[in-house]
Amino acid sequence: MSRKRITSKELAKLAGVSSATISRAFSPDSRIGGATRDRILAVAREHGYQPNAIARSLNNQRSRLVALVVNAIGNPCEAEEQQLLVHRLQAKQLLPIILCCADHTDRLQLMRLASTYQVDHVVIFSDMVSMKDAVDIFHTTRPIIVSFEPVESDSVSHIRIDGSAAAGEIIDKIVKDGRKRFAYLSGTSSSWIDKLRRKWFADALAKHGLAFEADAYGDYSYDSGFKEAVLLLHRSKADAIICGNDVMAIGARDAARRVLNRNTPDDLAIVGQDGIAMAAWDCHDLTTLSLDHAAFMDAVVDLIDRHDADLEGPHSITLTCKARWGTTA
Amino acid sequence: MSRKRITSKELAKLAGVSSATISRAFSPDSRIGGATRDRILAVAREHGYQPNAIARSLNNQRSRLVALVVNAIGNPCEAEEQQLLVHRLQAKQLLPIILCCADHTDRLQLMRLASTYQVDHVVIFSDMVSMKDAVDIFHTTRPIIVSFEPVESDSVSHIRIDGSAAAGEIIDKIVKDGRKRFAYLSGTSSSWIDKLRRKWFADALAKHGLAFEADAYGDYSYDSGFKEAVLLLHRSKADAIICGNDVMAIGARDAARRVLNRNTPDDLAIVGQDGIAMAAWDCHDLTTLSLDHAAFMDAVVDLIDRHDADLEGPHSITLTCKARWGTTA
DNA sequence: TGATTTTGTGTACACGATTACACAAATGGT
DNA sequence: ACCATTTGTGTAATCGTGTACACAAAATCA
């Protein structure tokens, strides 16, 4: 129960060797006698010695830390992906540092702070971070942008999501059901992602000679979905609402049912996006434009591996969404 | 857009000073001329210099890293608290490292890894970590245990949650409604927390001369809530189910409604625990034993502050739960 | 003016590990 | 038995900061 951590030099004295040998005992493939290593490891265990990762990082120029920039942890739409990624990172002995921020200037501040920790990789989930800021702040670490901003760049790798086909399927079905008045409930008023997602559906509508009749803007939360849906349904005659994510769709559906007494799918069609586990819960059973989160995070890890292998050039991976059919549309 | 990060020594050369002066320019209260500092900061900005936090940590013996040990990020019951804590830590310029693990041996492994990074603080949300393991692994950092294990110890601080009064209120109401056959749906079969929570309700039942007639064990997830509720309702005649957390309660309610065609609260009373935001959503409107998460995380930060101030002795904070009334019981 | 304090800066070492280099001992081949 | 190679270990430098100490210049005080 020592209050102070033992150093390699002290352990060296205890084991009767030099501190270099201690280090070698902990490096899997280094020239060291088997007997010596065993003895050192035994003494180390006895005294609770573990090499100091901070000192090692300084020497190595490799911290094994990964910064994850996200908007929220509490929102299931993001948390689900984050959990998958965290598990994958941990399996590679990489430790995730979470940078979670709603406010933009705070976020940049935070990113600067994390960059001083010499993180080996940066994964940006937030659609609010511009590529310029990302490259600026992490100039030694090529960031991985997990948004859908369609930019090719040598200094940034990114994952592109294509939901156009699945959005087409969904719109086709809803139109076939006889609906004509569509509204789009955005997750935010100012992000690439949201504009692109809306476009998938808008293009699909155009094929039927239709367009969105109304737009509303929330903040990806249940509350905003609820509130904006009420306003939307009061000021328009929409019979179908496409929502920016699943949580907002759930909020919108509750609003329709509770405030306006309209049920899905009979009186109103509601579509979500993301395909989170919750969307499939019996109480929701949402029709949603879903993404395979496991494949998504596999792609992120793939990019990390490419960076580690020091492959040059921009890296980009494209994933496609699928329609998940529930009973709300 | 330099590929390599500039060091304090290089910047010193550029600014025509010694590296010590560079360091001083970045330390708020240190003896340095105002003009020199301004000049250095200007040159630093120009070359994108930021002090290397890893090197600083090594020198300082202070990493400003905090390890958060959790079972899951994806589960809203935990994610909500985690988000609040992360925000509070970031406001104090502390960076959270997330250790997220379902498997027990992996978790210990991960905790050992994090401990080599000389984290300044450790907050353990997982009820699966024994105090002995925590102290063993983080022997230089007094861990903060956020579980309800009622142990006094000098080397561990903890937050104790008391839900007995609120559980009493809830049980009183349900009994008054005429129900007599209670079941408890645990979140896990082997944790302190769960046993204690169950006891709050069991004690309240005892005051009415009642006891739990049936028990089931899940894993805090919706799916397990759903599945176990089906089995439970098949093998017992329970007319009230107390669940280990809100997510399981939602699962149980869906199961009752869908599989057995029993609605809440008429055919069955269902109670959750945690009081997450989702519990208040219109589609759930859960009656739940709720905790003020903001106050909870304030308490965690309070303990961190006490550790920073190096106050001796065991620290313990007790919080009490409140009943949140919904329409499920 | 001369003594004393304050201010600003450089030098050198510490933090705790890794690793290039040197070198002795052990090993192998003929 | 001799030389070449391999093996195991110690010495010393390095990673990038922070800071105790030393010391000159400037400021303060009588």
Amino acid code (one letter) for A137: I
Does residue A60 belong to the interface with chain B, where contact is any CB pair within 8 Å? no
Whether B113 has its CB under 8 Å from any CB of chain A: the answer is: yes
| Residue B292 reports pLDDT greater than 90 | yes
And the tokens for A175? 């139109």
- Per-residue pLDDT at B151: 64
Residue B173 to residue B184: CA distance in whole angstroms: 17
Omega before residue A265 within 30° of 0, cis:
yes
Q: Does A280 touch chain B (CB under 8 A)?
A: no
Give chain A's mean pLDDT: 93
Test B139 with A1 for CB contact under 8 angstroms: yes
Alpha-carbon gap, residue A158 to A82, rounded angstroms: 16
Q: List the structure tokens of B260.
A: 């057995």
- pLDDT tens string A261-303: 999 999 999 999 999 999 999 999 999 999 999 999 999 999 9
pLDDT at B116: 97
pLDDT of residue B1: 46
Neighbouring residues of B123: CB distance < 8 A, sequence distance ≥ 6:
B66, B67, B68, B69, B85, B143, B144, B146, B300, B304
Inter-chain contact A116–B283, Cβ cutoff 8 Å?
no
Q: Give per-residue pLDDT as tens, A75-119.
A: 998 999 999 999 999 999 999 999 999 888 889 999 999 999 999
Characterize A156-186 residue by residue with b for buried, 16 or more Cβ atoms within 10 angstroms of its Cβ, and e for exposed: bbbbbbebbebbbebbebbbeeebeebbbbb
Res. B270 pLDDT band, cuts 50 70 90: very high
What is the rounded average pLDDT of the residues A8-28? 94
The nearest CA of chain B is from the CA of A4 a distance in Å of 6
Backbone angles phi, psi at B106, to 5 degrees: -60, -40
How high is the pLDDT of residue B79? 94
Confidence of residue B252 (pLDDT cuts 50, 70, 90): very high
Question: Span B165-176, mean pLDDT?
Answer: 97
Provide the mean pLDDT of chain B: 93
CA of B33 to C1' of C1 (A): 28
Confidence of residue A1 (pLDDT cuts 50, 70, 90): very low
Could you write out the DSSP letters of every residue in A224-256? Answer: HHHHHHHHHHHH---SEEEESSHHHHHHHHHHH
Residues of chain B contacting A48 with CB distance shorter than 8 Å? 139
DSSP B86: H
Phi and psi at A240, nearest 5°, equal: -155, 135
Q: What's the rounded Cα separation, in Å, for the pair A108 and A126?
A: 11
Interface contact A50-B115, CB threshold 8 A: yes
CA–C1' span, B123 to D11, in Å? 42
Give me the percent of chain B exceeding a pLDDT of 90.
77
Q: What confidence score (pLDDT) does residue A3 get?
A: 65
Q: Which domains does chain B have, with CATH numbers?
A: 8-51 (1.10.260.40), 65-161+293-317 (3.40.50.2300), 164-290 (3.40.50.2300)
Nucleotide of closest approach to B11 (CA, C1'): D16
H/E element holding A96?
strand A95-100
Q: What is the mean pLDDT of residues B188-216?
A: 93
Pairs from B81-84 (Cβ < 8 Å, separation ≥ 24)? B81/B125, B81/B293, B81/B296, B81/B297, B82/A73, B82/A74, B82/B125, B83/A72, B83/A73, B83/A74, B83/A100, B84/A74, B84/B293, B84/B294, B84/B296, B84/B297
Dist. CA A79–CA A73, nearest whole Å: 5
What pLDDT sits at residue A34? 87
For the stretch A144-166, pLDDT in tens is 877 666 666 777 888 989 999 99
